[in-house]
Amino acid sequence: MRLEVSCLDRVGLAKDILLIMEDYGINLFAIDASNQGFLYLQFAEVSFDTLSELLPLIRKVEGVHDVRTVSFMPSEQEHYALKTLLKTLPDSVFSIDVKGRIRIVNESALHTVGMAEHEVIDEPINHWVHGFSFSRWLSESTVLAQATRVNIGENEYLAEMLPIYLPDSGSDTPILAGAVVSLKSPARLGKQFNALQNQSSGFENVLATSDKMKEVLVQARRMAQLDAPLLITGETGTGKELMSRACHDASMRREHPFIAINCAAMPDSAAEEELFGFVSNGSVVKRGFIEEAKGGTIFLDEIAEMSKSAQVKLLRFIQDGTFRRVGGDEEIRSDVRIICSTQKNLAELCQSGEFREDLYYRIHVLSFHVPALRERKVDIIPLTEMFLEHYSQQLSIPIRRISGECREHLLGYAWPGNVRQLKNAIFRAVSMWDGNAELTVEQLKLPSYAEGFGYFDHQFEGSLEQAMKQFEASLLRRLYPAYPSTRQLAKKLGVSHTAIANKLREYKINKPK
């Protein structure tokens, strides 16, 4: 139980209160005092009747204004605030005394050294952290903050050491009580440096370790500075909207609006009004997104899903920069950059008449393709570690290591949902944390998936011949538009054109228009 006593700063006041508590046989656990005129007492739980007698007696003490029960002591709040901070910090943190012995350690540090808390407390930090003599540094006449390279096992870290000084009431010279040691890994330092270096470019949130993704970023940075329409292609979940926003943030339009529109989520009847606005009886009822984004960027996600009538008006706007609101006659000019994305093959949709060919050429002035996650496997583990760190901090739990088996599974999985699927899988695993220090395959709960066949149950039904035919038909449907004759396709696949013709007939695959 805890009490907050509002009182004057009077000599002997605390003694008077303690005498009252002694009369009731109450054992005091802790006492806090603040210079704000408050005294805090913590003691064992007492009955309601005892408390009802105790509070009026304390209020009668000279200098006491009021007394009430509280949920926590100020020192408790400070203690648990520090504990929460240490627990959620991704960096390894040690607090050591003047002899270099560990007094406090956070969970990240315990994971780094691979030990339990009771195994490291009161032990010299140099048992695990090598390359710097902490005891010698703390024995110097003047101990100053330092930063140096150290090792834990085979891994290197940057150690930042800050001395802890306590004020000495009897002297102007503070007393050295120890130091706080923080360790940062090269990977974390690299991410922090890149974020600082790229802050003005808009691409600081895009992780690129693989050569494929680095090449995409080089193209994107160049195209971001241009004002021509940009088309970003890629499978679902590859990060097309993230790249479009990065292009906007890296452009001269960064101070103006960025408006993202999901064309698939707009009903055909409302698409024109949403984009261009609406006028009724000569009054503007609604301003469209293109008008609201003046000077900035419009991102049209899944442009292939846009209605035919909206495609016509968008084409005209891209041609001359003007449009008319639905129901209006006024020509309006709006300076915006158009960035589009799609996971479909727009060239094929143009051939089948599902997408306007003239619009396709207008939005396809500049373009780049965001590769699927299975095509940039070098990025999978760094992305996993980044999501682990992010969600662990967000949910205030220790950062976990990735088990060897889990690494192999992550690298071998097809990732049909790409980065979005990986991000969601890591969030699910972190949010269901069971205290295990390692991320396992079972915790990811990834559905079984075979590239070319899609998701399947472990109880696979069908014969090998059926599975082979399914794959064969899927492959021919993808290749035929690019090799639109039986001879070209046969040459590409290394078989006779007669065999290809028979296969196309068997699977009812028609010649592309």
Q: pLDDT tens for residues 358-416?
A: 999 999 999 999 999 999 999 999 999 888 888 887 777 777 788 888 999 999 888 98
| pLDDT attached to residue 484 | 78
Burial grade of 19 (CB within 10 A; 0-12, 13-18, 19 or more): exposed
Q: pLDDT tens for residues 16-59?
A: 888 888 888 888 888 888 777 888 899 888 888 888 888 999 99
Q: Higher confidence at residue 265 or residue 67? A: 67
| pLDDT attached to residue 458 | 45
| pLDDT attached to residue 461 | 61
Contact 131, 150 (CB under 8 A): yes
Burial grade of 12 (CB within 10 A; 0-12, 13-18, 19 or more): exposed
- Nearest residue to 299 via CA among 238, 235, 230, 356: 230
Amino acid letter, 299? F
Encoded tokens for 397: 């739990």
Helix (H, G, I), strand (E, B) or coil at 388: helix
pLDDT band at 488; cut points 50, 70, 90: confident
Q: Strand 258-262 relative to strand 297-301: parallel, antiparallel, unpaired?
A: parallel
Radius of gyration of the chain (CA): 33
Lowest mean per-residue pLDDT among 322-331, 425-434, 456-465: 456-465
- Is 50 exceeded by the pLDDT of residue 421? yes
Q: pLDDT tens for residues 494-511?
A: 888 888 888 888 888 876
Contact 229, 338 (CB under 8 A): yes
pLDDT band at 87; cut points 50, 70, 90: confident
Encoded tokens for 490: 């046969």
Encoded tokens for 229: 């329409």
pLDDT band at 158; cut points 50, 70, 90: confident
Tell me the C-alpha to C-alpha distance, in Å, between residue 384 and each of 37, 86, 183, 402. Answer: 51, 23, 21, 9
